[in-house]
Chain A
Amino acid sequence: MRHYSAFAVAREALRYHTGWERAWRSPEPKKRYDVIIIGAGGHGLATAYYLGKNYGIQNVAVLEKGWLGGGNTGRNTTIIRSNYLQDPSAAIYEKSRSLYENLSQELNYNLMFSPRGVMMLAQTQHEIRGYQRTAHANALQGVKTEWITPETVKKLVPIINLDGPRYPVLGALWQERGGTARHDAVAWGYARACSAMGMDIIQKCEVTGIRSENGRVMGVDTTKGAIDCDKLGIVVAGHSGVLADMAGFRLPVESVALQALVSEPIKPCMDVVVMANTVHGYMSQSDKGEMVIGGGADGYNNYTQRGSFHHIEETVRALIETFPMISRLKMLRQWGGIVDMTGDRSPILSKTPLGNCFINCGWGTGGFKAIPGSGWGMAQLMATGHSPLTEAFTLDRFKEGRFIDESVAAGVAH
């Protein structure tokens, strides 16, 4: 792997950029790997990366049905925060956020991590109490957040309208160290680093079956033939249920569509991320100047990766009251992704009923922010059989009633 640097840019500029090599290899699959990860999105690639980096397990393949980072990794609104209520959530999301801080340097790939601050607006009395409680919980967890007044909100976001008739801004939960990152670059950066360690990232390779013997996973059948493995990690977000079915167990997960849209690019007008959970509207401004707007999830099972116009209308209608200036913007494009929702809106990082088969799913509407932490914990779980980061997120917590109830904490899906 050639190092990216200012010197490399200058060198290539002198020879018309003919010397750049491909960021990752695209090999044919070998017959056998120590570990196979299904899903080359952010979470799958991060899992592979930390398996190699932290545990020296480098005989790894990452299989991808479509193209690398083409699922939810490339479809989210790129928000990174860790202001969760429950301790296990705060631990894994804060681990993730702190890893993001140095990840560009570590991967030698510019993720454009921008800790510009994340603001969650309180627009009802219920939210005021909820967010103040979260701020106290965060203080105990060592996550730096604070409750801010409407005046401070206005100072940070001059384009906001504080006294809308339906959704007045009553304050906000502010996480200064939260922000955004370039979502595709996260997948690309991890892929490049994995490839440099000798791992095989195999795109356009759909898993069609999971082979097992005596209750242990033996390998997978794919559109590029059968591949054996010692350990298998299923990290496929929306299609987790389909893969679990192949592995012979069922999941407490439902797949629904979540959509987002961006406006035409405009001059810089808002340099923080604003989340309005009551109205399911999330907005930030990308480096290109587009207003990036996330909406709510559909209420019914759906695998189509398409959005729907009435959800756009609902989201935009509510946001216009809080941000009157966006009413004149044109929408540039909209898209949908399939998210895997669990009963308590917290992820599952767990062993499964099938031996040596592990699953990482259920991140629902908030997986992007968790990519480094999720990969870190999942790699530890797969390599050693136990991880303090993932121990609360087991598959059997639903049966045992040990929910990590972030749906109650946030009041909404997040």
Chain B
Amino acid sequence: MLLLHCPYCGVDAEETELSPGGEAHLTRHGPGASDDDFHDYLFTRENPRGVHFDRWRHAHGCGKWFHAARCTQTLEVFGTYSAQTSAPPQKICDAISKKRPGWSWRDLS
């Protein structure tokens, strides 16, 4: 059972209290986008074996969406943070680098 800290209401929530929402930091291509970009936005996912950023909703709590940095290989949680961002904050990246030296992620821009 995952335990995630909700950065909005401050509760350490169990997995059953939360709804998973898929990969975080997708670039949301819309009208005018190329077929490739729109395809990648809809279907292509990083799906890494290792560090992963995903969206969660505190469904049976405050109802807010937030982001979590996790390891998909060990289920270790590196931290959670506000969803009002397009890239993981430096604090989260530092926490990951400390535990996974040499870690890198796709270009998030």
Chain A contacts to B: CB under 8 angstroms? 239, 241-242, 250-255, 298-304, 306, 308-310, 342-343, 398-399
Provide the bound-state CA to CA distance between A399 and B22, in Å. 20
For the complex, what is the distance from the CA of A306 to the CA of B19, rounded to whole Å? Answer: 19
Q: Which residues of B contact A301 (CB under 8 A)?
A: 23, 47-48, 52, 54, 72
Is B42's CB under 8 angstroms from A299's CB? no
For chain B, the count of residues having a C-beta within 8 Å of the partner chain is 26
A304→B35 contact, CB < 8 A = no
Given A252-B43, A253-B45, A398-B43, answer yes or no on A308-B73 (Cβ-Cβ < 8 Å): no
Q: Which residue on A lies nearest to B39, using beta carbons?
A: A399
Say whether chain A's binding surface is mostly helix, strand, loop, or mixed: mixed
CA distance A298 to B43 in the complex (A): 18
B85 within 8 A of partner (CB)? no
- Residues in chain B near residue A242, CB distance under 8 A: 49
Contacts A252-B44, A298-B20, A308-B15 aside, 11 further interface pairs with beta carbons under 8 A come to A251-B47, A252-B43, A253-B45, A253-B47, A254-B47, A255-B47, A255-B49, A301-B47, A304-B73, A310-B15, A399-B35
CA distance A301 to B43 in the complex (A): 14
B98 to chain A, nearest CB (A): 21
Q: Which of B16-52 contact A (CB under 8 A)?
A: 16, 19-20, 22-23, 35-36, 39-40, 42-49, 52
**CA separation between A242 and B16, bound complex, in Å?**
29
Among residues of A, the one whose C-beta sits closest to the C-beta of B75 is: A304
* Bound Cα distance from A303 to B73, whole angstroms: 5
Q: Does B74 make an interface contact (CB < 8 A)?
A: yes
Chain A residues whose CB sits within 8 angstroms of the CB of B35 once the complex forms: 399
State in angstroms the CA–CA spacing of A136 and B46 once bound together: 39
Does B108 have its Cβ within 8 Å of any Cβ on chain A? no
Chain A residues lying within 8 Å of B16, measured Cβ to Cβ, are 310
Note all chain B residues with C-beta closer than 8 A to A239.
49
User: Please, which residues of chain A bring their CB within 8 A of the CB of B23?
Assistant: 254, 301
Question: Which residues of B are in contact with A by a Cβ distance under 8 Å?
Answer: 1-2, 15-16, 19-20, 22-23, 35-36, 39-40, 42-49, 52, 54, 72-75
- Find out whether the CB atom of A300 lies under 8 angstroms from the CB atom of B20: yes
Nearest to B2 among chain A residues (CB) is A300
Specify the chain A residue showing the minimal Cβ separation from B56: A300
Q: Which residue of B20, B45, B46, B75 contacts A299 across the interface (Cβ within 8 Å)? A: B20
Complex Cα distance A9/B2, Å? 51
**Given the complex, which residues of A lie within 8 Å of B72, measured CB to CB?**
255, 301-304
A310 cross-chain contacts in B, Cβ below 8 A: 1, 15-16
Docked Cα-Cα span, A310 to B14, in Å, equals 10
Q: How far is the CA of A250 from the CA of B45 in the complex (A)?
A: 8
CB of A295, distance to nearest CB on chain B (Å): 14
Query: From residue B30, how far is it (CB to closest CB) to chain A in Å?
Result: 16
B47 touches A241 (CB 8 A): yes
Q: When the two chains form their complex, are residues B75 and A251 in contact, meaning their CB atoms are under 8 A apart?
A: no
- The answer to whether A241 touches B43 (Cβ under 8 A) is no
Bound together, the chains give a CA A281 to CA B43 distance in angstroms of 28
CB B97 to nearest CB in A, in angstroms, measures 20
In the bound complex, how far is the Cα of B20 from the Cα of A268, in angstroms? 39
Check B73–A250 contact: CB distance below 8 A. no
Query: What chain B residues lie within 8 Å of A302 (beta carbons)?
Result: 72, 75
Q: Which residue of A lies closest to B36 (CB)?
A: A399
Query: Is B44 within 8 A of A250, CB to CB?
Result: yes
Chain B residue with the shortest CB-CB distance to A301: B72
Considering the complex, give the chain B residue whose CB is closest to the CB of A344: B43
A sample of 30 inter-chain contacts (CB < 8 A) reads A239-B49, A241-B49, A250-B40, A250-B44, A252-B44, A252-B45, A253-B45, A253-B47, A254-B45, A255-B49, A255-B72, A298-B20, A300-B2, A300-B20, A301-B48, A301-B52, A301-B72, A302-B72, A302-B75, A303-B49, A303-B73, A304-B73, A304-B74, A306-B75, A308-B15, A309-B1, A310-B16, A343-B42, A398-B42, A399-B35
Which B residues lie within 8 Å of A250 (CB)?
40, 44
Is A251 a contact partner of B44 (Cβ separation < 8 A)?
Answer: yes
